[in-house]
Amino acid sequence: MTQDAAIGIHDLSFATTEFVLTHQALAAHDGTDIGKYHVGIGQQSMSVPAADEDIVTMGAAAAAPITARHGTDQIRTVVFATETSIDQSKAAGVYVHSLLGLPSSARVVEIKQACYAGTAALQFALGLVRRDPSQRVLVIASDVSKYDLGSPGEPTQGAAAVAMLIAADPALVRIEDPSGLYTADVMDFWRPNYRDTALVDGHESINAYLQALEGSWKDYIEQGGRALGEFSAFCYHQPFTKMAYKAHRHLLHVCGHDTDAAEITRAIGHTTAYNTVVGNSYTASMYLALASLLDHGEDLTDKAIGFISYGSGSVAEFFAGTVVPGYREHLRTAEHQEAVARRKPVDYARYGELHERSFPADGGDHPVPRETSGPYRLAALSRHKRIYEVR
């Protein structure tokens, strides 16, 4: 484990949507036993974007508290990770750069590889800060998870953005070398350019995730990583929170450890509090798990956390972080809990309208109804251009 130049997560903030659909409402609509949603997949509700919210407005809302606290002077790079991109060419982070008033002397890029992209962004950021520790990198992972209405993926939708400031001498979590890596060409989840909604073979995806976890863990050990027993907690990518339980049981089994249910809950129980009510936020999901752990767990000072990032298709990475003394003074627990609590419940019909909403592709002027009470909104699509505004 390399810990000489401490680089890692200096600040972390997340934002989610204006609306929420409970799984009770979904179950009442589709006639499913609520036990399948609450227990079987481990989901209570899912965030639903208002008409004037998207990956940019959520990303800006997540990042604004970070720039308010730390300023913008040292940020020379913004990396925006998403798999629900709004443009095939322009990086969504450029809109965020503008909304936040970041310095023009910055590079901004967008990164994609399904839900793994947030970790690719983090690793890119760590490399840049290692090269010049005076610089800071703003990483934003933002996604709206969307499957067809009535499809098996529907109960595993959600939306959120996580913003992280990556810096030397971080206040929250030092990220360590090595990483364990794994790539395999599988079609478990994908979204062709002509579709708004993702296609998923859910059961294939569960198997692919477990294979990728095993592969990345084996590589992590071969690269000289920590022994399993050294970790106090594990943050898994959570397409649904039950997946984290399946994955940790698999990891314990692969390592020849007892797969005791109480031990699994101890290791990951605190990581699911936000994902169970927000739903799948794709690239942001694992970092929402970290926020949940830091906000709800016991004192983790100097404890090692295992991170398991999985992106369908598929790429996975296992890496470790160590929690920094004094981290609790820098958390945003009240704001995070408020972001979840402030959402307004919608019924299935309203959610369905929002889900099916799309812009005409005619190049006309299409204003967007004012719905969000968040700090940024998508005001219009005009001559094929997205117009954002600060509320």
Q: Is 195 in the site for ligand COA (CB under 6 A)?
A: no
The piece of 32-40, 83-91, 216-224, 357-365 that touches ligand COA (CB under 6 A) is 32-40
Segments of 25-151 assigned E as strands: 45-48, 75-81, 107-111, 136-145
The piece of 39-47, 53-61, 128-136, 377-385 that touches ligand COA (CB under 6 A) is 39-47
| Distance of closest approach, residue 34 Cβ to ligand COA, in angstroms | 8
**Using the rule CB under 6 A, which residue among 6, 24, 29, 41 binds ligand COA?**
41
* Per-residue buried b or exposed e for 273-288, using 16+ beta carbons within 10 Å of the residue's own CB: bbbbbbbbbbbbbbbb
Active-site choice (83, 154, 176, 214): 83
> Of 75-94, which residues contact ligand COA (CB under 6 A)?
none
Q: Is 181 in the site for ligand COA (CB under 6 A)?
A: no
Q: Is 35 in the site for ligand COA (CB under 6 A)?
A: yes
> Of 327-386, which residues contact ligand COA (CB under 6 A)?
none
Q: Is 260 in the site for ligand COA (CB under 6 A)?
A: no
| Distance of closest approach, residue 145 Cβ to ligand COA, in angstroms | 7
**313-to-83, 110, 238, 289 alpha-carbon distances in Å:** 12, 18, 16, 22
DSSP class of residue 313 equals T
Q: Is 209 in the site for ligand COA (CB under 6 A)?
A: yes
Question: Rounded distance, CA 2 to CA 32, Å?
Answer: 49
Q: Is 42 in the site for ligand COA (CB under 6 A)?
A: no
Question: Rounded distance, CA 33 to CA 355, Å?
Answer: 23
The piece of 34-42, 47-55, 80-88, 261-269 that touches ligand COA (CB under 6 A) is 34-42
Q: Is 155 in the site for ligand COA (CB under 6 A)?
A: yes
For residue 145, say if its preceding peptide bond is cis, omega within 30 degrees of 0. no
Q: Is 202 in the site for ligand COA (CB under 6 A)?
A: yes
- Active-site residue flag, 237: yes
Nearer residue to ligand COA within complex by CB, 11 or 188: 188
Query: Which tokens belong to 230?
Result: 């050294």
Q: Is 33 in the site for ligand COA (CB under 6 A)?
A: yes
Q: Is 325 in the site for ligand COA (CB under 6 A)?
A: no
Question: Rounded distance, CA 237 to CA 247, Å?
Answer: 9
| Distance of closest approach, residue 151 Cβ to ligand COA, in angstroms | 8
Residue closest to 127 by CA, chosen among 182, 175, 62, 72: 175
Question: Rounded distance, CA 164 to CA 148, Å?
Answer: 31
The piece of 151-159, 167-175, 337-345, 352-360 that touches ligand COA (CB under 6 A) is 151-159
Active-site choice (10, 237, 248, 355): 237
Lay out the site mask for ligand COA across 229-258 (x = CB under 6 A, - = otherwise). ----------xx------------------
Q: Tell me whether residue 232 is exposed, middle or buried, using C-beta atoms within 10 angstroms of its C-beta: 0 to 12, 13 to 18, 19 or more.
A: middle
Phi and psi, residue 182, nearest 5°:
-155, 130
Q: Tell me whether residue 383 is exposed, middle or buried, using C-beta atoms within 10 angstroms of its C-beta: 0 to 12, 13 to 18, 19 or more.
A: exposed
| Distance of closest approach, residue 120 Cβ to ligand COA, in angstroms | 16
The piece of 149-157, 162-170, 215-223, 262-270 that touches ligand COA (CB under 6 A) is 149-157
Which element (helix H / strand E) includes 320?
A: strand 315-323
Q: Is 31 in the site for ligand COA (CB under 6 A)?
A: no
The piece of 197-205, 297-305, 347-355, 381-389 that touches ligand COA (CB under 6 A) is 197-205
Amino acid at 91: A
Active-site choice (10, 110, 115, 214): 115
Contacts of 236 (CB under 8 A, 6+ apart): 243, 244, 247, 248, 268, 271, 286, 289, 308, 310
Query: Which tokens belong to 349?
Result: 């019909």
Segments of 146-290 assigned E as strands: 158-168, 173-175, 180-183, 189-190, 199-200, 231-236
Chain contacts with ligand COA (rule: CB under 6 A): 33, 35-36, 39-41, 115, 152-153, 155-156, 189, 200, 202-203, 205, 209, 239-240, 280, 310, 312
Catalytic residue set: 83, 115, 237
